[in-house]
Structure 1
Amino acid sequence: MPRRDYEDDPGAPEANSLVPAASVVVVGDDGKVLLQRRTDNGMWALPGGKMELGESLAGCGIRETLEETGIRIEITGIVGTCTNPGHVFAYDDGEVRQEFSICLLGRPVGGTIAVSDESTEVAWFTPEETDGLPMVDSIRKRLTDWRAGSPVVR
């Protein structure tokens, strides 16, 4: 389902849902970060998605990363919280979701890169290579926070 991101945009539609979610900055031993190109907006993004009932936040990040990239991970820390009420995602089905995401830090422990129904490409990038990739502002902020090295509350 295609979506459109709005961040602090006075023309954004009003939110009608709030869903807990996790995203993960997965960093390999070589310092490269794992990203996927999303099918819903064509932008590069961190793996992640909404939590399921009965699942922990870490479990959500681990599951979503495996589903979207083919890479198995372990969670090693937290990058920050992303709860800006001015950041909403408008979906074609009428849902307008207010952001509520915790960005975790992870490391790969196995698996093989694979695309999913949510991604068209999956690849590893140096931190510097991510600077030139098309991505929404909220994902770029998470990568900037990770590169700064201390957890951030937004």
Structure 2
Amino acid sequence: MARTDHYHDPDAPKATSIVIAASAFVVDDSERLLMIRRTDSGKYALPGGRHELGETMTQTVIRETEEETGVTIEVTGLIGIYSNPHHVIEFSDGEVRQEFSICFRGRAVGGEPRPSDETTEALWVQRDQVAGLDVHPSIRLRIEHGYSSATEPHYT
């Protein structure tokens, strides 16, 4: 299913749903960031996805990271809560979603990056190489917040 992100676009369609999601900011001992390349948009992103009934949010981010990257993580902190109503995602099936996403800090505890059904790539990226990747502004913001030394979580 294809997706189009509308970000501060006055011509964007109105959201028809809201979905709770989680993403992971995981940096290894070499200061490389775990990233994916999405199959639905081709953009690079942090691993993560939809919260499922019966899960805690930390279980969601652990499951989604492992599904999308092959890397098992443990959650070590909270980066922020993101709920920008000016960012809607339009899917080819007609759904237009406003996402409510919680970004967690994590630490890899096992596995090696590999692609999945949802990713064409899963890889460790040097910090200075992130700027050159095609990353949506909403994800870039989470990465910026992840690298910051703020002691309090970001929220919108």
2:75/2:104 contact within 8 Å kept: yes
- The structural deviation recorded for 1:148 is 1.4
Match in the other structure for 1:86: 86
**Per-residue CA distance 1:40-96 (angstroms, 9 max, x = gap):** 000100000010000010000000000000000000001111101111110011111
- Kindly report the root-mean-square deviation, in angstroms, between the aligned alpha carbons of the 2 structures: 0.8
Map 1:27-66 onto structure 2 (within 5 A).
Answer: 27-66=27-66
1:27 corresponds to which letter in structure 2?
Answer: V
Q: Percent identity?
A: 50
Give the counterpart letter for 1:73 in structure 2.
I
Question: How many residues are aligned here?
Answer: 154
CA distance in 2, matches of 1:138, 1:131: 14
Contact 2:25 2:103 in 1 (8 A): yes
- Counterpart CA distance in 2 for 1:91 and 1:73 is 29
CA deviation after TM superposition for structure 1 residue 149, in Å = 2.4
CA distance in 1, matches of 2:50, 2:149: 25
SS of match in other structure, 1:52: coil
- Secondary structure at the residue paired with 1:41? coil
**After the TM superposition, which parts of structure 1 deviate over 3 Å for at least 4 consecutive aligned residues?**
none
More moved, 70-79 vs 25-34: 25-34
Matching residue of 1:152:
154
1:32 Cα offset (Å): 0.9
Within 1, Cα distance between the matches of 2:80 and 2:55? 19
What's the counterpart of residue 142 of structure 1? 142
Give 5+ residue unaligned stretches, structure 1: none
> Letter of the aligned partner of 1:57 in structure 2?
M
Unaligned stretches of 5+ residues in structure 2: none
